[in-house]
Amino acid sequence: MDMRLTAEDAALAAEARAFCDEVLVPLEDECEEHDGLTPESAAAAKQAVLDRGCNAINHAVEDGGRGYDVFQVMLIEEQWGRATGALWDIPWRPSIPLAAGTEAQKDRYLRPACAGDRRDAYAITEEGAGSDVSMVATTARRDGDAWVIDGEKWHVTSGDVADFFLVHAHVDGDPAKATVFLVDKDTPGVRLVRTPKYMHTFVFEHPIFAFDGVRVGDDQVLGEVGQGFELTKDWFVEERIMIGARTVGAATRALELSTAFAADRRQFGSAIIDFQGVAFMLADMAAELMAAKSMLYRVCWDAARGGADRKRIHAEASAVKLVCSETAGRVIDKAVQIFGGRGYMRDQPVERLYRELRVDRIWEGTSEIQRVVIANELAKRGPEAYTGWPGSDG
C-alpha cells in the first residue's frame, strides 16, 4: 500500500499553500476589521484567483474548470482552509449540480461561473425547513409556459455577491417533486429581505431572500422535475467533504501556532510547553488531527480513484464531516486555552478560527444529522463502508 502523494498532487497542495499564504492570509486583518474586503482588495483577490488558476477547481476543463478530481480538490481546500475570515470562499467553486445542466444552461450559468463572470449561491434552507429538507415550503407552480416560484430562503451563503441562485423548491408543494431552479437575481420578484449578522466574520454575507411570484422558463429547471433532492444531495456530499478538508487545514494551523506559542511563552521560569498540562493538550490536538486527516485522505482517495460508488461516498462523506468538524472544534478550543488571554483577542488567528469553526458542526447538515445518515447506512448495509478498506472484501 503506497500512501505517498504523487508528485502532481504534492505540487498542487504546495501551490494551494502558497496561494493561502501569499494572497489570503494578508487579507485577514482587513476582513476582520471591516467585516469583509474593500472593493479594491476584492478585485485584486479575484485577479489573483484567475492568475494562479484557482477558479472552479471542481469542474471539468471543457466547462472552464480545472478538471481536478475530488482528492485534488480536497488537497487544495485543506490549504485554503487555513485562512480566517472564510477567505477560502474567494476562489469560486461553482455548485457541483450545475454540471448536470444542459449545454444551454452550462453556457448561461456554469461556464461564466467557472470564468468568474457570474457567481452562484445555493438556496435550500427556510425558516421552517433546516435539517428536514422535505419541509421546504417554497413552491413552483405551472402558469402557461412558465414556472412561478414563491417562498423565502434563509442563510444564503455568498448571496450578496451571487448573481444567480440554485433554488430548491417543491413543484405544486409536493416534496416528491423537489426541483432545483436556476434563478437570476435580477428576475422581478427576487427580493433581499435582510442581511443578518453571524458569529463569525465571513468575507461574504448569508442574506435572506424572498421569491415573490418569480417567473422562470423550462430552460431554468436543472435536471428533471422531481430530481431536486438528488441534485441537492450531490451538493451536500461535495460540501461535506470540503468542510472536512478546510477544518483539517484550519486545525493544523491552530496546532502549528499553539506549538510555537507554547515553546516561546514563559511563565514560572519555564516555557509553558514544559508544563504537562499544556503539553498534553498539544499531544491530544496532534493525535486527533492525525486521525481526522487520515480518514479525510482515505475517503477522498477512494472517491476519486478507488472506485467507490455514489452511495458509499454519500455514507462516508457524513463520517468525514462529523469527525473532522468535531475534531477541529476540540483542537481550536485547546488552542485558545493555550494562548490564554491572547487567545481571546480578535487579532489572533486562533480567536477567529474559534468563532469560524463553530458553524462547521451546523451547516451542510448538523453533527446530529451526519449521525442519522451514518446510522441509516449501518441499518441498511452494515458497517462495511466505515470498517472496511478499499480493495478488501471486509
Ligand X SMILES: Cc1cc2nc3c(=O)[nH]c(=O)nc-3n(C[C@H](O)[C@H](O)[C@H](O)COP(=O)(O)OP(=O)(O)OC[C@H]3O[C@@H](n4cnc5c(N)ncnc54)[C@H](O)[C@@H]3O)c2cc1C
Active site amino acids: 364
Residue 138 CB, nearest approach to ligand X (Å): 11
Residue 327 CB, nearest approach to ligand X (Å): 18
Please give the Cα distance from 303 to 128 (Å, whole number): 33
Judge contact between 182 and 164, C-beta under 8 A: yes
Task: Choose which of 372, 384, 388, 390 interacts with ligand X (CB under 6 A).
Answer: 372
Residues facing residue 180 across a β-bridge: 168, 222
Shorter beta-carbon distance to ligand X: residue 94 or 365: 365
Residue 225 CB, nearest approach to ligand X (Å): 20
Backbone dihedral region of 382: left (phi > 0), alpha (psi from -120 to 50 degrees) or beta?
left
Backbone dihedral region of 169: left (phi > 0), alpha (psi from -120 to 50 degrees) or beta?
beta
Please give the Cα distance from 202 to 88 (Å, whole number): 10
Shorter beta-carbon distance to ligand X: residue 75 or 373: 373
Please give the Cα distance from 165 to 211 (Å, whole number): 11
For cell 491552530, the residue is: 254
Residue 365 CB, nearest approach to ligand X (Å): 6
Interface stretch with ligand X, choices 22-30, 182-190, 306-314, 355-363 (CB under 6 A): 355-363
Instruction: Tell me: does residue 246 bind ligand X (CB under 6 A).
Output: no
For cell 435539517, the residue is: 131
Residue 288 in grid coordinates: 486527533
Shorter beta-carbon distance to ligand X: residue 151 or 249: 151
DSSP summary character for residue 205: -
For cell 454540471, the residue is: 99
Rounded (10°) CA dihedral 349, 352, 354, 360: -120
Shorter beta-carbon distance to ligand X: residue 262 or 315: 315
Shorter beta-carbon distance to ligand X: residue 41 or 366: 366
Instruction: Tell me: does residue 284 bind ligand X (CB under 6 A).
Output: no
Residue 168 CB, nearest approach to ligand X (Å): 7
CA torsion sign for 72, 76, 78, 81 is negative
Instruction: Tell me: does residue 275 bind ligand X (CB under 6 A).
Output: no
Shorter beta-carbon distance to ligand X: residue 80 or 235: 235
Please state the separation of Cα 67 from the chain's center in Å. 18
Task: Choose which of 38, 102, 131, 270 interacts with ligand X (CB under 6 A).
Answer: 131
Task: Choose which of 63, 234, 288, 364 interacts with ligand X (CB under 6 A).
Answer: 364
Residue 106 in grid coordinates: 452550462
Shorter beta-carbon distance to ligand X: residue 289 or 323: 323
Please give the Cα distance from 251 to 117 (Å, whole number): 33
Interface stretch with ligand X, choices 83-91, 151-159, 241-249, 374-382 (CB under 6 A): 151-159
Q: What is the secondary structure of 312-325 as a DSSP string? A: HHHHHHHHHHHHHH
Shorter beta-carbon distance to ligand X: residue 19 or 165: 165
Task: Choose which of 123, 313, 328, 350 interacts with ligand X (CB under 6 A).
Answer: 123
Count the neighbouring beta carbons within 10 Å of the beta carbon of residue 37: 20
Q: What is the CA radius of gyration of the chain?
A: 21
Interface stretch with ligand X, choices 74-82, 154-162, 267-275, 312-320 (CB under 6 A): 154-162
Instruction: Tell me: does residue 94 bind ligand X (CB under 6 A).
Output: no
Torsions phi, psi of 131, nearest 5?
Answer: -60, -35
Residue 331 in grid coordinates: 483542537
Task: Choose which of 155, 240, 293, 334 interacts with ligand X (CB under 6 A).
Answer: 155
Please give the Cα distance from 335 to 352 (Å, whole number): 11
Interface stretch with ligand X, choices 23-31, 107-115, 137-145, 356-364 (CB under 6 A): 356-364
Task: Choose which of 325, 365, 377, 385 interacts with ligand X (CB under 6 A).
Answer: 365
Q: What track of x and - describes contact with ligand X for positions 191 through 230 (by CB under 6 A)?
A: -------x-------x------------------------
Judge contact between 321 and 244, C-beta under 8 A: yes
Task: Choose which of 362, 378, 386, 390 interacts with ligand X (CB under 6 A).
Answer: 362
Report the residue closest to ligand X, judged by CB.
130
Instruction: Tell me: does residue 41 bind ligand X (CB under 6 A).
Output: no
Stretch (H or E) spanning 239? helix 228-264
Judged by the rule CB under 6 A, the positions of this chain that interact with ligand X are 122-125, 130-131, 155-157, 198, 206, 359, 362-366, 368-369, 372
